[in-house]
Every structure is written in structure tokens, then in C-alpha cells.
């Protein structure tokens, strides 16, 4: 989630709160508090709920929460206007007006919504509802470059957060070779950054050492020298590592359903893909949703897609160019003005409804003839 309120911008993925583009120094728990209140700004959030969210593993007193709220207010109460309101005996509510932002060009142009994807979104919304009772659900998003796969994954992540799923994202690098297990390393590292790794640490036991070999953030908890004591057969070591990632996923979803989103898996390393198959096998009864996106099916290990497609409730979304109505909506969002038929025809001919091309086309044409639009 990326949002703007007063003169601040909050980027949940990057865990950054910034003013005029300058990141502010924010304690992790204060950041979590602000983000949680913003996400649930449609209601008053009780103190108990906040204590549970911010200190999931510890019994703390209300006083700790008051201190946290006080620090948050110092950051977000712009020019004397309160952003966080205290509701006597009930809790806190975020009341400043919030605008959702999206990544990339859309964000720069102030566009908030995906257009023309209601069918795909409805499909995945149904899948989220199926995850909640405690089931593994999977989906794949395929389609040509620039058709809107990443944008759809983002939208799904927001929907998941809204439904109180924990959302974790990872993407294979598209401009360099991927390192072993890169997708899982990203996920676990993000988890540690958000939660201080306590649940994983407790659930992992000796497996923590395996995981610490690929996730540097875990090393400080490993007993010095313990990992090096046995000269293990490398196959065995790999198997242990693969198991330890499964355990980490189970630990992370033990108290709250999760959504794991993997973008650009056609650029992934083979170990990340093998692990995904392993997780799919081991997590049938885990409340977790696993979504992947890719352009070139030939570059995704066939076994993975076959396995996914054989699972109950799997959803396959193949994105195509947007229709005329959606392209018109996109152009109108970008230009901020009604778009006539002649312009729409020209845009359709030039872009075939591919959102990335529509954005480029709009940039080129709207600046050149903005007077006429
Ligand atoms: N349905 C849509 N409505 C409005 N804007 C969209 C839509 N789909 C995509 N866009 C915008 O089009 C651009 C390209 O989309 P995106 O990056 O999601 O494509 P992609 O399929 O992930 O591309 P790649 O194959 O390069 O990863 C983005 O700026 C995105 O915000
Ligand atoms: Mg993409």
C-alpha cells in the first residue's frame, strides 16, 4: 500500500514514511501503528487489537501503546490538524484524508484504479474467501509484457490486506541472473523486517541455522559455530533448507492467513521454483494464497504450472489488452478530461489496448495536443 495524507507519503512495502520525498526516521513499531491505522481508517481500532498487532508475542500494558501513539502523532499530525483521533475508551481512528497511490506512471499521474479488470479481480476475491477457512489456494497471472500483471498483483495484495491477510511480495530480477532461492529469501527477509522474526525463530528451532545460511538477517540468532559443526552431505543440507522454508511459511501463517505473491517467475532461479513445488505439497491445509505472474510460460518450469493447475480451486488468469471502454477510462484518468471517439480510435489502433502502451501513447499525444483534448 502506498498512500498520501497531508504532506506525507507512506509506503508500506518499503517501510518508509516521507515528507516531500525525504524519508523520516521512524521506529519500526511506530511505523506499524501508523500503517495499521491507515489501513483500517474506515473504523475505530480498539486498544486491544493494536496491542495484539504490534506486540503479538508479548504482554504489554496500555502505557506502551500510548507512548507509541504519542510518537506517531508527532510525525503525522500536520500543522496542528490531528490525523489520529482518540475515541474515549474505545481506541484510535485515523481521520486525515488519505489518497491511495499506485507505483509507476499511474502514481505520478494520480491514477488510483485499475480499469477493465473486474472479472479477474472478482475471481481472486473469491479465492481469498476460500483461503480464510484454512485452505491453500493458488492462482497464476499470465500475459504479454506491459499487459498489467504487476498492477493486478498489487491490487490483489491491497485486497488481501483489506481482508486481514498478511501479504508478502517477491519478484525475480528481470535484469540480472537470479540468485538461489531469491524469491524466498526476499519473503523471509521482509517478514523479519516487519516482525522481528520472533514467531519464525520460535517455530524453527534447529532449522533456523539452515535458513540463516540464505537469509542474513537471521544469522544473529544462530549459536556461533553451530552451523559448521557437521560436514553434511549437500543433498541433505538442501533438503533441510527446503524443509525449513516450509516451516517458516507455516509459522508465518499460523495466526493469520497469508498471501504470497511472486512476480516475474519466468526470471526466477530453479531453486525458488523447486521450493514453490515443495511448499505446494506441504501446505495443502495451510491458510495461504500463492499467486504467481509471468510472461513467458516456456521459461517457467513446466512441472510447477502442472502441479498448480491440478490443485483444487486453482485460478488461471490470462490478461489480454483492455477493451475500448477501459482504454477510454484510462485515457480520461490520465488526461483528466473526456476523450472523444476519434482519439479513442487512434489510441486503440496504436496500442491494441495494452496498458503500458496506452500510458506511453497518452504521454506522447496528450502533451503534444493537450489544447485539443
Ligand atoms: N487495468 C489497468 N488499468 C490502468 N492502468 C493499468 C492497468 N493495467 C496496467 N496498468 C498500468 O500499465 C503499466 C504496465 O503495467 P504492469 O507493469 O502491471 O505490466 P506487466 O504485465 O507487469 O509488465 P511486465 O511484463 O513488463 O512485467 C503500469 O504503469 C500500470 O500501472
Ligand atoms: Mg510486471
**Grid cell for residue 47:** 486498544
Q: Is the CB of 355 under 6 A from ligand 1?
A: yes
User: Does an H or E element contain 85, and which?
Assistant: strand 84-87
pLDDT at 87 over 70: yes
Cβ atoms of 54 and 33 closer than 8 Å? yes
Domain range list for the chain: 2-100, 107-318, 324-372
Whether 2-100 and 107-318 share one fold: the answer is no
Strand order in the sheet with 45-46: 45-46, 91-94, 84-87
The minimum-distance atom of ligand 1 relative to the CA of 174 is 27
**Grid cell for residue 225:** 559455530
The minimum-distance atom of ligand 1 relative to the CA of 264 is 27
Cβ atoms of 302 and 266 closer than 8 Å? no
**pLDDT band for position 141 (50/70/90)?**
very high
Top mutation candidate among 115, 147, 151 for ligand 1, by most atoms within 8 Å of CB: 151
Name the DSSP class of 178.
P
Write down the pTM of the prediction: 0.72
Going by C-beta distance under 8 Å and a sequence separation of 6 or more, which residues neighbour residue 167?
A: 157, 160, 161, 258, 259, 261
Q: What is the pLDDT of residue 68?
A: 94
Q: Is the CB of 105 under 6 A from ligand 1?
A: yes
The minimum-distance atom of ligand 1 relative to the CA of 322 is 1
Q: What is the pLDDT of residue 233?
A: 64
pLDDT at 371 over 90: no
Q: What is the pLDDT of residue 192?
A: 74
Cβ atoms of 289 and 106 closer than 8 Å? no
Q: What is the pLDDT of residue 131?
A: 86
Q: What are the two backbone dihedrals, phi and then psi, of residue 213, each rounded to the nearest 5 degrees? A: -65, -30
CATH number of 107-318: 3.40.50.300
Q: What does the mean pLDDT of the chain come to?
A: 85
Give me the architecture of the 2-100 domain, per CATH: Orthogonal Bundle (1.10)
Amino acid at each position: 500500500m502506498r498512500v498520501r495524507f497531508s504532506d506525507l507519503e507512506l509506503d508500506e512495502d518499503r517501510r518508509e514514511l516521507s515528507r516531500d520525498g525525504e524519508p523520516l526516521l521512524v521506529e519500526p513499531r511506530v511505523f506499524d501503528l501508523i500503517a495499521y491505522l491507515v489501513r483500517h481508517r474506515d473504523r475505530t481500532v480498539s486498544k486491544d487489537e493494536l496491542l495484539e498487532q504490534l506486540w503479538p508475542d508479548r504482554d504489554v500494558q496500555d502505557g506502551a501503546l500510548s507512548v507509541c501513539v504519542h510518537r506517531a502523532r508527532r510525525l503525522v499530525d500536520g500543522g496542528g490538524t490531528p490525523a489520529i483521533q482518540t475515541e474515549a475508551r474505545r481506541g484510535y481512528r485515523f481521520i486525515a484524508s488519505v489518497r491511495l497511490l499506485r507505483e509507476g506512471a499511474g502514481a505520478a499521474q494520480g491514477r488510483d484504479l485499475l480499469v477493465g479488470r473486474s472479472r479477474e479481480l472478482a475471481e481472486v476475491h473469491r479465492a481469498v474467501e476460500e483461503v480464510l477457512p484454512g485452505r491453500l489456494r493458488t492462482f497464476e497471472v499470465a500475459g504479454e509484457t506491459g499487459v498489467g500483471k504487476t498492477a493486478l498483483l498489487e491490487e490483489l495484495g491491497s485486497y488481501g490486506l483489506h481482508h486481514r491477510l498478511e501479504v508478502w511480495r517477491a519478484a525475480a530480477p528481470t535484469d540480472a541472473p537470479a540468485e538461489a532461492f531469491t524469491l524466498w529469501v526476499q519473503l523471509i527477509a521482509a517478514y523479519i523486517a516487519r516482525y522481528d522474526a520472533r514467531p519464525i525463530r520460535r517455530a524453527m528451532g534447529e532449522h533456523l541455522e539452515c535458513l540463516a545460511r540464505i537469509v542474513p538477517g537471521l544469522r544473529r540468532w544462530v549459536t556461533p559455530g553451530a552451523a559448521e559443526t557437521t560436514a553434511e552431505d549437500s543433498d541433505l543440507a538442501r533438503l533441510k533448507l527446503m524443509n525449513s522454508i516450509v516451516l517458516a511459511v507455516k509459522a508465518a501463517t499460523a495466526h493469520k492467513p497469508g498471501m504470497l505473491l511472486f512476480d516475474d517467475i519466468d526470471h526466477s532461479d530453479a531453486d525458488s521454483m523447486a521450493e514453490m513445488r515443495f511448499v505446494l505439497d506441504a501446505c495443502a491445509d495451510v491458510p495461504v494464497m500463492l499467486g504467481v505472474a509471468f510472461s513467458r510460460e516456456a521459461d517457467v518450469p513446466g512441472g510447477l504450472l502442472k502441479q498448480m493447475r491440478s490443485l483444487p480451486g486453482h485460478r488461471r488468469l490470462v490478461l489480454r489488452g483492455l477493451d475500448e471502454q477501459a482504454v477510454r477510462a484510462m485515457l480520461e484518468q490520465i488526461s483528466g478530461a473526456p476523450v472523444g471517439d476519434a482519439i479513442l480510435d487512434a489510441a486503440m489502433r496504436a496500442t491494441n489496448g495494452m496498458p503500458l502502451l496506452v500510458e506511453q501513447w497518452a504521454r506522447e499525444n496528450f502533451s503534444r495536443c493537450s489544447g485539443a483534448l
